Amino acid sequence: MPTDTFFNLPKEKRNRVVKAAIYQFASKGYSKASVTQIVHDAQIAKGSFYQYFNDKKSLYKYIVKMALDKKLEYIIEMDSSKIDGLYYFLIQINIAIIRFAEENINLARIVNDLPNMEQTYIYEELEIYHKKSGLNLFIPRLKKAVQEGKIKPEVNIHYAAHLLYNSSLFITNYFLEEKGVNSHKDMIPVIENIIGLIILGIKKDGGES
């Protein structure tokens, strides 16, 4: 994570470093992004970089945490407490995530690249945090649906939450990679289709989702 020296920099200079890092990590991934290019783009001395961050890893962790916090803002803004039914809850969660990706395309690329990390130690530190946050979105709602008799009682909540977490990653990747998909509105039919398939599998006969 950053040193106090970084946080004491003028805002404009901090923003240059962050902007350069986001671009490099989003376009090249962690392993190919270089500190040399980041400091060049940020217009700072390489020696200064190491006054701000211990190494590339600490900068990357800072950027990923920033991306995850930003993504969470979109989900919190959705106010899921006002959404009735598991199906509509899952639709709106994924629309919120796609809105985050639409408006923060490079941050979304960085977050969705986490499962592809070659450096296992970094994957474990960051992806586990990301996954835990994602699972915590789904598990309470799944438990509530079981209690209300809306999904099959034999459904394994843990497995179902992982399925929903991974489906949200797939949906985001589809948005990032599919040509002709330019906004969250374009993604609504895709989201409805994928969530519909999952709901059909866990929905209790006669139950409302």
Where are the chain's structural domains? 4-54, 65-202
Residue 92 pLDDT > 90: yes
Q: Which residues are CB-neighbours of 2 under 8 A, at least 6 positions away?
A: 52, 53, 58, 59, 62
CATH number at 4-54: 1.10.10.60
pLDDT in tens, 52-89: 999 999 999 999 999 989 998 998 888 777 787 889 99
Kindly state the tokens that stand for 18.
């962050």
Q: How far apart are CA 62 and CA 109, in angstroms?
A: 15
**Per residue in 122-151, pLDDT tens?**
777 777 777 888 888 899 989 988 888 888
pTM reported for the whole predicted model: 0.86
CATH number (3.40.640.10, 1.10.357.10, 3.40.350.10, 1.10.1740.10) of 65-202 reads: 1.10.357.10
